[in-house]
Each structure stands twice: as structure tokens, then as C-alpha cells.
Chain A
């Protein structure tokens, strides 16, 4: 079955060509369904391949399928070949599965848009590139997909190009991604210079001769990590992701939540052997992940755009994944990628459904009380919120818990990291339920026209929501910890062949006892509930205009801790959120990026005076250049 792997990216490519060429010829029905069916076909093939891999001997399940020889120079050659193994098939399923659901959803969501055909063409092109990224058996193919998804993301963010800020958002996303790509490319060159190949299998095999923590491996892993920070929106390159919400909401669900942004995680897990021999880099990744998770979660508590909340939440969750990578818990990272793909796609699609029902309104202060009007959306959204907050037995609990467990046991400072991670988890529960309460509870705060118009989305949109909700509930089953006595951790077993070397190298300083493990879980659940309760207490009857009165009302309700909460937690958090948003994000990071742009313009402005238009001066430059080169040749060598 593995030899048919080429079919998986082929179907979306065909879908892209049909939708792209026929966007003015075919009707909307065909334009929507052909690309969706293409992705479904890929999903079916992926499923068959997945079963195949499952039934094979795990040691020999990894197959490299060569499509053709890209080029061949001397003894250096690059193949256009796909790697089928446990990791790539897992990602295949996520990409094509969730991709299909989002395609179907889009048919409903984009039905009134004039760029319908173009949209589906881009979407299929994205899926194609993402599949290349995941399937490539060497860094070159991976890089091609890597650039390709960046390009599609650029095109889709700027999809509604008539608004200027949307174009700027697209450009920002692209430039920040390019900065990251630069790191990736340099890492690839470093790898070629040392190993003479870019094939994963050969690079990882010949890694043995490299000095652990030596300058070479540090440079390679750091450059790869810079690539990952760009694509996966980590500090300091995360600011493009919230801006990227300018694109259509299903795009945010597919690209900016479920698939593309996790490419960085995939790439590092794929190269886990390199990272394992570079503990310094791992430590940096841990720090960056932690900082990102905290900062983004803080900012998310204060956002009023429904999609912006989810965007910062995505950044924060990605931070969790990088934390897991930082402590060498690659399984946990992949686990969180999977569950996050389920519930974040669900949340984004749910928010899309809300926006659709509200005729394009995105400000949550204008919503409220939607739970009766949009029942399916409300219940699925609620499931998503519970999942992300980490309440058992929904999927988010298991994956987040596994990350926390590894943080706790990681070295002497593990407990500190664990505590900080718990704060981020607390904020996660808080901002998600804040979003839920403000949007779905209380009284409707929009205009009358909107109120009249609010309706549940069509079945095309709610069906994917329901499927994703089921996945969000049950997704955690693939990684139930052994402590519950339900047998082995399935995902760990599954990824064993790929992560074996890294797991062996990773030494757990203090292995937890079963009781300790259960205790940590209990603490995590309690903290999540605390977050929900806090959100409930502040936002149950949210009123955009009279917020203080709301809090006062709770005091009347004898909620004795409220004021304490308010002063000790809520206010400092909000203050921090404002500071982070204005100072860190807007001034430091955006300022730095804009500063580079300004520097470039200034340099360009200086250099242009060389071009004075006078031939005499040109001849003079030329002779001066010759003299300078002569000095270089004869006196400096």
C-alpha cells in the first residue's frame, strides 16, 4: 500500500488545478465539492496506508518511496521521495481528515463569497503543500512544502484584499515566516556541508559522530528552531498569527490552528535525534515555549475579538508543545498537536459559525445570549472549551497533563517550570470560558437588526462541528496514561520506532510514583476548575457597559472571594495583558521588525546616491573599485 503514497498529495493537486482553472466555468456546487472530495480521497488513501503501517513490523514500517530523482550531481543527489512511517502517517490523517471537514464547512461558510473558486483552489494548494512538508523524506522536500504553505497562508490571509490592513497582515505573516525560513535554509546548508546529504535516514544515521553540544550541532538545531519559531508563531516571531485572523475563519481553523502552525513541531520531532544531542538548544526551546505560553495566554484574557482570543490561545498552546519538546517529551508534543488540532479547529469553526450567524460581527461585546439561538454551535463550542481547559476525560486533559508531568520531572527546576505551566493552564481555562460566557450567556448586546438575523448555521457547517466535537471528546483515548490501568499508552507505542533513540537518551531525574502522578492530575483539574469559576464569577452576566456593576452584584451574592480574586488575580492579569500587548508585542517585536524595514529603506536611500547619472563619476567608481581590488589582491591575502 505504501507505494501508492503519491496519490495522497496528488488528489489535492488535481483538485487545485480543477478549481483554479475552472473557477469561472464550473458552478459553485462543483467548485466546492470537487476539492472536498479530493481531500476525502486523500484521507481514504491515508487511512489505508495507516492500517498498513499498523500491521507491519514496527521496525520495518518506515518506507521511503522514491517518485523520481530531483537532481544528481557528482555523488550528491536529492530525490523527490516520500517517507512513510508512523509519524508521517499520523500527520497525514490529521491533515486530510480535518482538512476534509473544513472543506465541507467552507462550502457553507463561503457560499456568498465571490471568490469561491479561488478560495477552494488556494485551500487545496495548501493541503498539497502541507502534505509535501509532512511526507518529504529529506529536508529539501520538507523545505519546499514549508515555503509552499507559507505562500498559501499569505494568499489566504490577504484573501479579502479590498481591506488594506488585511494586505498588511498578509505581508507581515509572509515576512515573519521568511525570517524563520532563513534559519531553516541555513540549517539545511549546514547539514549538507557536514553530512553531504539531506535524507532524513542518512542524516540521523551519521549523527553518531557529532560531538554532543558542539558548536556544529548547536548551530544546526538553533537554526532549525528559528525556522520553527517563524512557522509556529513562537517568541519573538509570533505577532503575525493574531494578525493572520484577517483571513476567512475556516482558513484560520485549518492553517492557523490545526496544521501549518504545527509544522514547526513536526519538523523538530522529525529531527528529534539531532535535538537530543543538543541539550542547550532544548533548554532554549523550553524557555521560549514557556514564555510564549505565558505571554500569549495573558494577552488572550483581554481580547474582545472572538478570533483574536482564539489566535492568542493557539500561540499559547503552541508554547505548550514547545515546552514538551524542550524537555524531550516528543510524544507529548505530538499528542498535544493532535488533540489541539481537534479542539482548536472545533473552536475556530464554532466561532466562524457565530460570525456567520451574526452577519460578520466579530466583537464579543456585541454578542451574548447566543446559546439559545445557536444550540448546536453552543454545545460544540462548550465541548471545545472544556477540552482546551483540561477537564477529564476530554482530550485536552490527557495531552496537557502529559506535558505537565514531563515538566515536573525535568531536572532540579522542573517544579518551577511546572508551576509556571500551571499558571498558563489556569489562564487558558479562564480566557476560554470568559469567551464562552460573554458570547453565549447573558443578554444579547448587538443591534436589533443583528438580533433579528441571528440563526443557526446550515447543516453543512454544523456537521463538521459535531464530528470535531466527538473527536475532541474521545481524542484523548489514544494516549491514556498507564496509571489508569487501561493498558499501554497507545501513541507512545506507536511512535516508539521514531523516538527510540531520543527516549533512551532522555534521563528522567525523578520518576514519579503513581500516587504522585494522580496527585498532579488532581491539582491540574482543580486549577482548571478554578479558572472556569473565576470566569463564571466575572462574566456570567457580562455587560459591556456596566462591568463594575456586575462585579458589585456578585459581591451582593456573598461571593466572598470575589474581591480578593479581583485584586489579586484579575486586575494584575489585565494590567499585564495590556503591558504585554502594547509594550512587548507592538513596540518591541513589531518595532524590531519595522525597524529592520526602516533600516533597509535608509540604507537603500544612501546607496542610491552612487547612481548619480554622471558617466564621469561612474568611470571613477570603476577605477576606484579596480584599485581597491588590486590592493586586496596584492597586499591582503
Chain B
């Protein structure tokens, strides 16, 4: 629980550093330091936790070893994120300290979402996570695209908040409680209409945040328009937290009614995989392709919502970790590029072998090639769903879509390794120093480690 307080207080400290510190470098160092503190707190939380579920704040929150592990994985990825992107974050605009502060505030929301026990906190967590993201999306004030991304994100996000609240209220009307663990009684008998409507609205709202089709439309535009320094945060850490919340809610509360809402989840999974993968094929810009690929990846994460068993719980840890690391890697390379189109990557392997290698491993992982974390992530997801009796055609469809994804991921690899270019692919004033490369290599090594020894995240 300490981690929620820690991230909020660190956010406040970073916010104040904006008015009390003048050096850009000082602020950046402070942010890096803060991310390390967060990681330390997360590790302490893991060591203190036993397998029992402990309630906090009069039962509003609950932690156990799983949430502690998830928090630690997320805190670790946040640390990597700050390490890899702090240079670029300060370059986005004038209010550099505020960007770091907003990231930490969003992280507070993330940690609330991983361990809430009351729909009240679900709502607060989602809002605390989303509102900073609306600002971050629009933080490049000189850029119309950033404005547009922010407006779209905000309008649609606020719209989906309405559905979230209506869903929560209807469920409350059906059960008389906001407590997630007490709603499990709902399994008995035919559910009331308002309960079903409430579940539908919750699927809509959480599906929206998780960018599941048909509520995904904001994703490409927002990820494309936002400053590239913030897109990986939105696409990885925020996304994983939303999925953790999604799964926790449906596992604890609505598992008894699974027979009724499974059909919706299947429809959403199929649509998400189809739209994400097929549309990504057409894209010319790597950044936009990655936005679609994040939709496609969400399709795989949704399998965990269907299965709701132990495998999927571990799967979300593994898939989440490998997905976050891979997204971080590929964006860390992308942000150094001059040209975001596929041709912009031509000949990168010759000029910047470390960057190209990191990007290649990240793309392998996203595509689910074995010996990278992504393979076992996908494997856990499909296996978990299969154990829970998912129709086999959905699994076959998912494997087919994963095969399509190879096509567009490998376009980047092909450009990097099998094409040549006279010009430098990277931005001339991009900082590609040794610490950056070291971080990138660590990131890549972890991705491979997850592919060789996946138990490392599931056992700890």
C-alpha cells in the first residue's frame, strides 16, 4: 500500500521542483531518483507480503502477493521508462517538471487500479490515471496534432467515464454494495436486467480504456498525435494497469455470471484482433503501426478476461511485463529517428547496431517469436482461455492473426537489416549516449530472459 502513497508524494515533490528548481538537469535527476525510490518501495512491499489478502483503508483496497508482484513489475518498467525517456520528456515543452509529476500522478492511479477492492476506488483509479494522460497527450502545445490528440482523448474519455459510472451505479442498484468481493453472490439465479446492463456498461468503459474494438477508435489518433515520449507510457504501463483492473473486477465480481457475458468478450476479442492486425498492415508510419499493434496486443490480453483462472493471472504478469518492455524498447528507438515511416528505418543496423538489435528483439517479442517474452505471454493467454473452454475457432483465429502481425513487424526488421540508406536514420541531435545504450541492452536482455525463464516473474 505504501507504493500508492509514495507515488503520490513523489508526484507532489516533482511538481514543486518545477517552481523551486531551475536546472532542467536537476529536475531530471530528481525524477530518476524518484523512480528508483518507487522501485525500492515496491520491492519492500513484495518482501512484506504474504499470500494472504490484506485489506486497507476500511476495505477500500486489498493487497496480496499477486498485486505486490504486479506493482513491482510496473514500478520496474516505470523506472526503465524514466531512464530511457527522461531526456526526451524534458524536451517536449517548457514545463518539464510537471510532465514528470503527471507521470507519477498517473502511476498513483495505476497502483490504485492494481489493488482496489471497491468500485469506488476503481472509478478514482481510472480517473487519476486518465486525467494526467489527457494533459500529457496535449503537452506539445505548439503542435496541432498534439492538440487534436488531447481533445479526442479527452472527449471520448469523458464520454466513457459516463458509462463507467452508470455501470457502477447499476451494479450497486442490483447488489446494494460497492465492495467487489461481496458482489460474488450474484451468481445465483437469473440475473436482473440492471445487473446485466451494468456489466455491459462496465465492459464498455473498461474496454474503451483498454482500446478494445469497437471502442478502440481513439487509440491510433491519440498515440499518433501525442508526443512520442509519452506514447509508450500510455500504450504500455497505463494499458496493463487497466487490464489488471478489468480482470480483477470480473474475476472477483462477475465470474458467476460468466455464461452471460462471455459471448460479449468473444465478440470483442475477435473484432479487436481483426481490426488491430488487419489495419496495421496498411500503415505507412511506424508510430501509427505500433498504435494498431497495441490494439492487437489488447486483443490477446482480453483472453485473460475470458479465462479468469490462475494461468491467466500469471499470464497477465508475464504478458504485461514482456509487452511493457518491448513497447519501451521499440519506442526508445523510434523516438531517436528522424523519419517515422518504414523507410526511415532503412539501414539502421549498419549505423546503429545496438538500436537496431534492441528494436528487432522488441519486435520479435511483440510478434510472439519463441525465446522472447512475448511468446510465452501469448502462450499463457491462449492456454488459459483454452482451459476455460474457449471455442477452439477463436484460438485458431488468434493464432492466425498473430501470423499476420509478423508481416508488419518484420517490415521494420527488414528495413533495418536488409535495406540500405545513404543518410543517417537517426535524428542528428538525438542523444544516443552510453547510458542510454546500456539501458536499452538491459531492456533487451530482460526480454530474452523472460523468453528463456518466464518463471522469473511468476514466482519471483
Contact flag (A, B; Cβ within 8 A)? yes
Chain A interface residues (CB < 8 Å from chain B): 68-74, 76, 80, 140, 143-144, 147-148, 151, 155, 158, 161-162, 167, 170-171, 174-175, 178-179, 181-182, 185-186, 189-190, 192-193, 597, 600-601, 603-605, 607-608, 610-611, 613, 615, 618-619, 621-622, 624-626, 628-630, 632-634, 636-637
Interface-located stretch among B106-114, B213-221, B330-338: B213-221
State which residues 266-284 of B face A: CB under 8 Å.
267-268, 275, 278-282
A162 CB contacts on chain B under 8 angstroms: 420
Q: Are B418 and A167 in contact (CB under 8 A)?
A: yes
Contact with A along B419-457 (1 / 0, CB 8 A): 110000000000000000000000000000000111100
Q: Are A161 and B417 in contact (CB under 8 A)?
A: yes
A161-B419, A185-B399, A604-B278 known; A633 vs B155 contact (CB < 8 Å):
no
Q: Are A611 and B279 in contact (CB under 8 A)?
A: yes
Q: Are B407 and A625 in contact (CB under 8 A)?
A: no
What 6 pairs across the A-B complex have the smallest Cβ distances? A625-B214, A604-B282, A161-B418, A144-B370, A604-B281, A618-B217
Rounded to whole angstroms, the CA-CA distance of A189 and B395 in the bound complex is 9
Question: What is the CB-to-nearest-CB distance from B412 to chain A, in angstroms, rounded to a whole number?
Answer: 13
Any chain A CB within 8 A of the CB of B392?
Answer: yes
Question: What is the CB-to-nearest-CB distance from A489 to chain B, in angstroms, rounded to a whole number?
Answer: 37
Rounded to whole angstroms, the CA-CA distance of A155 and B410 in the bound complex is 12
**Set B156, B279, B407: member contacting A607, Cβ < 8 A:** B279
Q: Which residue of A lies closest to B385 (CB)?
A: A189
A76-B383, A630-B200 known; A622 vs B310 contact (CB < 8 Å):
no
Any chain A CB within 8 A of the CB of B263?
Answer: yes
Question: What is the CB-to-nearest-CB distance from A288 to chain B, in angstroms, rounded to a whole number?
Answer: 21
A611-B221, A626-B200 known; A182 vs B455 contact (CB < 8 Å):
no
Q: Which residue of B lies closest to A634 (CB)?
A: B196
Q: Which residue of B lies closest to A600 (CB)?
A: B281
**Set B264, B375, B410, B455: member contacting A632, Cβ < 8 A:** B264
State which residues 397-424 of B face A: CB under 8 Å.
399-400, 403-404, 406-407, 410, 414, 417-420
Question: What is the CB-to-nearest-CB distance from A604 to chain B, in angstroms, rounded to a whole number?
Answer: 4
**Set B281, B395, B399, B420: member contacting A601, Cβ < 8 A:** B281
Q: Are B204 and A626 in contact (CB under 8 A)?
A: yes
Q: Which residue of A lies closest to B390 (CB)?
A: A193
State which residues 362-400 of B face A: CB under 8 Å.
369-371, 375-376, 379-380, 382-383, 386-387, 392, 395-396, 399-400
**Set A71, A607, A622: member contacting B376, Cβ < 8 A:** A71
Q: Are A144 and B386 in contact (CB under 8 A)?
A: no
Any chain A CB within 8 A of the CB of B151?
Answer: yes
Q: Interface residues of B, CB < 8 Å — how many?
A: 68
Q: List 17 A-B contacts (CB under 8 A).
A: A70-B455, A73-B311, A140-B379, A144-B375, A148-B370, A148-B371, A170-B418, A182-B400, A182-B403, A189-B386, A190-B392, A193-B392, A610-B275, A615-B151, A615-B155, A622-B159, A626-B204
Question: What is the CB-to-nearest-CB distance from B284 to chain A, in angstroms, rounded to a whole number?
Answer: 11
Question: What is the CB-to-nearest-CB distance from A621 to chain B, in angstroms, rounded to a whole number?
Answer: 5
B379 CB contacts on chain A under 8 angstroms: 140
A182 CB contacts on chain B under 8 angstroms: 399-400, 403
Q: Are B395 and A71 in contact (CB under 8 A)?
A: no
Q: Are B455 and A618 in contact (CB under 8 A)?
A: no
A73 CB contacts on chain B under 8 angstroms: 310-311, 314, 380, 458
Any chain A CB within 8 A of the CB of B203?
Answer: yes
Rounded to whole angstroms, the CA-CA distance of A189 and B376 in the bound complex is 13
B419 CB contacts on chain A under 8 angstroms: 161, 167
Q: Are B264 and A629 in contact (CB under 8 A)?
A: yes
Contact with A along B335-371 (1 / 0, CB 8 A): 0000000000000000000000000000000000111
Q: Are B383 and A192 in contact (CB under 8 A)?
A: yes
Rounded to whole angstroms, the CA-CA distance of A170 and B386 in the bound complex is 34
The interface centre, meaning the residue of A170, A597, A608, A621 with most chain B CB atoms within 10 A of its CB, is: A608
B152 CB contacts on chain A under 8 angstroms: 615, 618
B250 CB contacts on chain A under 8 angstroms: none
Contact with A along B38-68 (1 / 0, CB 8 A): 0000000000000000000000000000000
Q: Are B399 and A637 in contact (CB under 8 A)?
A: no
Question: What is the CB-to-nearest-CB distance from B178 to chain A, in angstroms, rounded to a whole number?
Answer: 23
Any chain A CB within 8 A of the CB of B33?
Answer: no
Q: Are A601 and B310 in contact (CB under 8 A)?
A: no
A70 CB contacts on chain B under 8 angstroms: 376, 453-455
**Set A80, A167, A189, A603: member contacting B278, Cβ < 8 A:** A603
Question: What is the CB-to-nearest-CB distance from B337 to chain A, in angstroms, rounded to a whole number?
Answer: 20
Rounded to whole angstroms, the CA-CA distance of A68 and B309 in the bound complex is 24
A161-B417, A161-B419, A632-B263 known; A611 vs B220 contact (CB < 8 Å):
yes
Any chain A CB within 8 A of the CB of B208?
Answer: yes
Q: Are A637 and B263 in contact (CB under 8 A)?
A: yes
Rounded to whole angstroms, the CA-CA distance of A608 and B200 in the bound complex is 27
Rounded to whole angstroms, the CA-CA distance of A182 and B386 in the bound complex is 17
Rounded to whole angstroms, the CA-CA distance of A600 and B215 in the bound complex is 22
State which residues 200-241 of B face A: CB under 8 Å.
200, 203-204, 208, 213-215, 217-218, 220-221
The interface centre, meaning the residue of B159, B379, B382 with most chain A CB atoms within 10 A of its CB, is: B379
Q: Are B156 and A619 in contact (CB under 8 A)?
A: yes
Any chain A CB within 8 A of the CB of B141?
Answer: no
Question: What is the CB-to-nearest-CB distance from B429 to chain A, in angstroms, rounded to a whole number?
Answer: 26
Q: Are A621 and B453 in contact (CB under 8 A)?
A: no
